Structure formats: structure tokens, C-alpha cells
Amino acid sequence: MRALVIDDSKTIRLILSKILKGLGYTVSEASNGQEALDRLECDGPADLALVDWNMPVMNGLEFVRAARADDANAGMCLMMVTTEVEQEQMVRALVAGANEYVTKPFTPEVIVEKLRFLGLAGEAQ
Ligand SMILES: [Mg+2]
């Protein structure tokens, strides 16, 4: 299973990568949406992407739209992990094609629980 962690915070990327590696994922990281698209282009589709909203160059919502516009990513689960807590923002992300929505601050347990619900928590833990 391959996962992409997209966040402009190196600390957040580190925390999320660690959680996903613990679940058996091979993890790539990107610091904005454009970098993530480049990575997908280069490495092929991922099974899962954890997507921050507020990032420079290309934000998370733009990334979700761009990723969903490409059939190659049809099987990729997109989970927003963001400080945007407005219901309206959540709806925008889901309409754009996000599968799940987690607000920061998060605990590792919440991330794992959401992934388990999506059938993406693997065999570990
Ligand atoms: Mg950010």
C-alpha cells in the first residue's frame, strides 16, 4: 500500500508518515499540492493521500480537484487533515472528491480509526 502525505509543515508530515508507516504503508511526502501531483505523475497512483488544506503554491482543495480530474487516481482515497473546521469548508472538500475529513489537532488514534473505517488501516495495530 502506498500513501502520500501532503502538508507544508515538516513536523506534521513526520507525524503522519510515522502513523502510516506503522500501518505498513510505503510513504512519500509533498509540501504542497503541485509537488504531490508531480509525485503521483512520477511514481504512479497512491492508495491513500492525507491532504492539508492551507499550503503555498497549490492548496489542498485545489489538489483534491486536480487529483479527481485524473482517472489514474480514481482508486486513491483522499483524506483532508486540516485546521479548517467550518462545516462549509468540509462540504466543499467532500464535494470536490475528498473521502474523509479530519480536523487538526488530531491524535494518531483518530487517524487510525478513520482509516480503519475506510478499510485502509492494514493489518497492523
Ligand atoms: Mg498548512
Q: pLDDT class for 125, splitting at 50, 70, 90?
A: very low
Q: How far is the CA of 10 from the centre of ligand 1 (A)?
A: 10
- As a CATH number, domain 2-117 is 3.40.50.2300
Average pLDDT, the chain: 95
In the chain, % of residues over pLDDT 90: 95
Neighbours of ion ligand 1 (CB under 5 A): 8, 52, 54
Q: What is the DSSP letter of 22?
A: H
Domain range list for the chain = 2-117
Per-residue b/e over 103-114, b at no fewer than 16 CB within 10 Å?
eeebeeeebbeb
Q: Residue 54 Cα, ligand 1 centroid: separation in angstroms?
A: 4
- Model pLDDT for residues 38-63, shown as the tens digit of each residue: 999 999 999 999 999 999 999 999 99
28 Cα to the center of ligand 1, angstroms = 17
* 110 Ramachandran zone, left/alpha/beta (phi>0; psi -120 to 50): alpha
Q: Is pLDDT larger for residue 122 or for residue 120?
A: 120
What pTM value is reported for the model? 0.95
Cα 50 to ligand 1 centre (Å): 12
